[in-house]
Structure 1
Amino acid sequence: MNHQSVSVWARKTALLGIAAIALSGSLTAAAAAPAQLKTQVPGYYRHALGEMEVTALYDGYVDLGSNLLKGIRADQIQSLLARMFLKDIKGIQTAVNAYLVHTGGRLVLVDAGSASCFGPTLGQVQDNIRAAGYALEDVDTVLLTHLHPDHMCGLLNKDGKPAFPNATVFAAQEDMDFWLSEATAATAPEDKRPFFKMAREAAAPYLAAGKFRSFKAGEQLFAGVSVVPTQGHTPGHMSYLFSSKARQLLVWGDIVHNHAVQFSRPEVSLEFDSNQKQAIATRKALFVTATKNGWEIAGAHLPFPGIGHIRKDAKGYAWVPLEFGPIRTDR
């Protein structure tokens, strides 16, 4: 080997050594990757409704057992869940949502979430209002679809005081007469009595301040906001229709708890429905009206953000969620 060949060989060897060191360093760097964060993005999503702005708020989730669905065989439930790639292991993951609507003149919260009334997977509405850029003090109106704890415990903060000190709370008189009555609670089954207690505690400071009011079915509460009676899940369950520039959004509370089953099979009820026959009739009628009118829907237990449309199929109906995108007022 001549002198020139030795020189070339030496340079190649040196370069290979540098490459090996670099590769070794990159492998070491890869092995030292940061830990996975294990956290999700803040739970809010904005949506334009004419001149109104709707902010969906995620309170969290609860795993509902498929055995709570009534009027359908277990194998039929599992078949419908499989079509939607849902797994029923410890129950079916079910969202709990609330909705903040800026009408232009009011900041309206529809349902308040569960706060600390249930387990650690719920209670995020207040934090997500702040994450969305609002203060709890900005809310001037709270509309409750009904008085179940996962919809009204969030009226209180961690200290048991009003979370929305500047707000007036509205609910149907029928639900107030039922859930806030100690006499009715005393006659309820033992396992249901805590629901009455949680409802009374959440309402108490607002009632004391004269800021908890009732309304009648079909009443127009404010400009662009009217009440749609949807009883069945509870005696006074109500939904709210927001209208702006020919656009309409119905925030419907607990009309559907399982989107995989109850859209295709609206005759399936839930064990928690106080009047299952009425709840079924309400759901069927509402599906017809919503599809006929082209209403947008916001549901408390639909997959977050829970906003979309209902489509009529050859058999039953289907849920069509909105597409993620910017806030657009041109469509």
Structure 2
Amino acid sequence: MDRRNFLKTIPAAALALSGPALLNNSAAEAAAPFAKNRAPGFYRMPLGDYEITALSDGTIPLPLDKLYRGTTPEHVEEALGEVFLKLPAQVSVNAYLVNTGDRLVLIDAGTGSLLGPSLGKVPQALAAAGYRPEQVDAVILTHIHTDHSGGLMLDGARVFPNATVHVNRREVDYWLDAARRAAAPEAKRSMFDEAAASVKSYEKAGRLKTFGDNEDPIPGFRSIWRPGHTPGHSSIVVESGGETFVAWGDITHGDVLQFDEPKVTIDFDEDPVQAANNRKAAFAEAVEQRYWVAGAHIAFPGIGHVRTDSTEYDWVPANYRAG
């Protein structure tokens, strides 16, 4: 008798009797607590002969209705609600690793331990992507706000011991100026303190270098000076094989309202008018040149394109690719 015929001979009553017990045991064995943690976030894409790896530092809930300027809280809530987002909105913090084949260049470094447990994940993402911090040759900062430079240090030690940090000269002159810190409102002084804590150790080690407006931070990488958010805020341009990738920095916070309404600024902008003007210029250039854009605060991996639509501009996320 073969297996199929043997099973046909099993009495139905026996199956009925044993069935509930089997089901109950199976259900009991399947029960488990919710796994609330997530795998480290990284996403790879080719760029000509280079490889780009987006690294997630995590997300942070922001009350954008209270932080956006040039609009109303009601309008912000309505606009976010139209794309199924609730307040406070979860906003990504992203960094980007460029492998040129002979060097590793990190664009922005995340928050480190400075902004809470939901952030500071760049080291884990880097490890999951197959790299070690000591392999990073250079770190280019779009600017020195804490969520871009805080990840340079951890427990008083340089996270990237073999890397030189490159940043626009205006950023260093602004954030490391003791007189400017003393003149700043009390609530803002922590930003100066965190900036100093993040980059001073690299400076002492001779591993902090500055570049001028629109100058190349390092060979093969260009910068576009786009001030307003901060004095030296710069987008970083990578080109290979006829393709272009522009790490925007903080041209936008989110991927909804500011594309439809570029005039809307955010409380973190040092010069809101200048920030709004440079945002619109960045949008227009991205549309015209059709290059890849990477936004530090666009939903991870934050890579995509910009197009025009009936309400100014629209964000088009990169189509996911597994290989």
Query: Does residue 284 of structure 1 match 2:280?
Result: yes
Computing the radius of gyration from Cα coordinates, the structure with the larger value is 1
Aligned length: 314
Tell me the residue number matched to 1:301.
Answer: 297
CA shift at 1:69, angstroms? 0.4
The CA distance in 1 between the partners of 2:314 and 2:185, in whole Å, is: 35
CA shift at 1:76, angstroms? 2.0
Aligned mate of 1:150, from 147, 150, 159:
147
SS in structure 2 at match of 1:221: coil
Tell me, yes or no, if the aligned pair for 2:167 and 2:217 is still in contact at 8 Å.
no
Tell me, yes or no, if the aligned pair for 2:254 and 2:299 is still in contact at 8 Å.
no
Tell me, yes or no, if the aligned pair for 2:153 and 2:159 is still in contact at 8 Å.
yes
Residue pairs, 1:18-37, within 5 angstroms: 18-33=15-30, 34-37=32-35
CA shift at 1:22, angstroms? 2.8
For residues 9-52 of structure 1, the C-alpha deviation after alignment (integer angstroms, 9 at most, x for no partner) is xx999532333313321233113323332222221110111111
Tell me, yes or no, if the aligned pair for 1:224 and 1:244 is still in contact at 8 Å.
no
Which stretch shifts more, 20-29 or 120-129? 20-29
Tell me the residue number matched to 1:39.
Answer: 37
Tell me the residue number matched to 2:245.
Answer: 249
Tell me the residue number matched to 1:5.
Answer: none
Query: Does residue 106 of structure 1 match 2:103?
Result: yes
Amino acid at match of 1:239: S
SS in structure 1 at match of 2:217: strand
SS in structure 1 at match of 2:278: helix
Which stretch shifts more, 113-122 or 318-327? 318-327
CA shift at 1:150, angstroms? 0.9
SS in structure 1 at match of 2:60: strand
The CA distance in 1 between the partners of 2:10 and 2:99, in whole Å, is: 69
The CA distance in 2 between the partners of 1:119 and 1:226, in whole Å, is: 32
TM-score, length of structure 2 as denominator length: 0.94
Amino acid at match of 2:92: A
Aligned Cα RMSD in Å?
Answer: 1.6
Tell me the residue number matched to 1:274.
Answer: 270
Tell me, yes or no, if the aligned pair for 2:56 and 2:301 is still in contact at 8 Å.
yes
For residues 308-327 of structure 1, the C-alpha deviation after alignment (integer angstroms, 9 at most, x for no partner) is 00111122111111111134
Tell me the residue number matched to 1:310.
Answer: 306
Tell me, yes or no, if the aligned pair for 2:210 and 2:217 is still in contact at 8 Å.
no
The CA distance in 2 between the partners of 1:170 and 1:245, in whole Å, is: 24
Tell me, yes or no, if the aligned pair for 1:148 and 1:199 is still in contact at 8 Å.
yes
Residue pairs, 1:171-190, within 5 angstroms: 171-190=167-186
Amino acid at match of 1:72: T
Residue pairs, 1:120-159, within 5 angstroms: 120-157=117-154, 159=155
SS in structure 2 at match of 1:184: helix
Tell me, yes or no, if the aligned pair for 2:259 and 2:313 is still in contact at 8 Å.
yes
Amino acid at match of 1:73: T
Amino acid at match of 1:46: R
Amino acid at match of 2:127: R
Amino acid at match of 2:104: L
Say if 1:50 and 1:12 are closer, same or farther in 2 by CA, change over 3 A: closer
For residues 109-138 of structure 1, the C-alpha deviation after alignment (integer angstroms, 9 at most, x for no partner) is 011111111111110001111111001000
Amino acid at match of 1:45: Y
Residue pairs, 1:59-70, within 5 angstroms: 59-65=57-63, 66-70=65-69
Tell me the residue number matched to 1:119.
Answer: 116
Amino acid at match of 1:151: H
CA shift at 1:153, angstroms? 1.0
The CA distance in 2 between the partners of 1:121 and 1:38, in whole Å, is: 12
SS in structure 1 at match of 2:94: strand
Aligned mate of 1:166, from 162, 168, 179:
162
SS in structure 1 at match of 2:260: coil
The CA distance in 1 between the partners of 2:162 and 2:9, in whole Å, is: 76
Tell me the residue number matched to 2:5.
Answer: none
The CA distance in 2 between the partners of 1:20 and 1:83, in whole Å, is: 53
For residues 208-260 of structure 1, the C-alpha deviation after alignment (integer angstroms, 9 at most, x for no partner) is 01110100111123443101111110011011011111110100111100211
Amino acid at match of 1:41: A
Amino acid at match of 2:60: V
Tell me, yes or no, if the aligned pair for 1:146 and 1:238 is still in contact at 8 Å.
yes
